[in-house]
Amino acid sequence: MAYSPTRLALCPSRSLNLVCKILRSFLGLLETNTVGYYALQQRLAQRDDLLNLRQQVRNQLHALVQHPEVITEVRARMESLLAIFESQLTEVESEIMAALSQDSAWAAAATRLQSIKGVGWVTAAWTLVTTLNLTSCDTVDALTAYAGLAPMPRQSGSSVWHRPSIGHTGNGRLRTAFYMATLSAARHNPVIKAFYTRLRAVGKPEKVARCAAARKLLHIAWAVVKKDQQFDPHYARG
């Protein structure tokens, strides 16, 4: 979870102060939960790396078989690498699931998060890791800002450079997790589907609508964990 000084410099001072406050809170809370945090964070990060490496080799193999002649040994080594990556992914994912169950509070939160259509175990796990089970933020608005899903003007002093946008501050991995979750939620979650469809119908660009949907999905995630209840689409609509 790295923060670029350049990116932080682009934030309005109020947003920068909020992010810094959340980071201080996060680091303070981390001191009392280092084992559970690192057990998940390092495995989740390794899973991301393995997925990237697997895709690289898949792309290389695809390019290789386009040649008029393919050397058997070269292809075999690529296929062997893919098999290794698959095996290691299965292993690390099993370890992640076991790590999630080590802490009863985190396990319960993960179950509630996964009751939200569109939020799978990967999104749930990254949510718990990047927010220490939603304890690093005092309010849902702070959480939204921390994820970088709250539109912020890019400005210096009193000069505003561009219209408010997202993606310039906050925790990029948490933001990515919820943005990707909307790909499924916009199809299968009745609350997010209706919200996303309405935005597109009034002419909002796809990326803008998806970011707004990710923000709403994060609000729902906050609610189910803080209220200690499963997702109820009828209640959420109301």
Domain locations in the chain as residue ranges: 1-31+104-238, 33-102
SS3 160: strand
pLDDT digits (tens, 9 = 90+) for 141-175: 999 999 999 876 555 555 445 555 555 678 999 99
| Token pair of 144 as six digits | 């939204």
Distances (CA, A) of 163 to 154, 200, 230: 7, 20, 37
With bands split at pLDDT 50, 70 and 90, how would you rate the model's confidence at 37? confident
Mean pLDDT is lowest, of 17-26, 28-37, 45-54, 180-189, for: 17-26
Which DSSP string corresponds to 54-117? Answer: HHHHHHHHHHHTTSSS--HHHHHHHHHHHHHHHHHHHHHHHHHHHHHTTSHHHHHHHHHHHTST
The reported pLDDT for the residue numbered 166 is 56
The reported pLDDT for the residue numbered 228 is 94
The reported pLDDT for the residue numbered 159 is 47
Query: Residue 218 above 60 pLDDT?
Result: yes
User: Terminal CA-to-CA distance of the chain, rounded, Å?
Assistant: 35
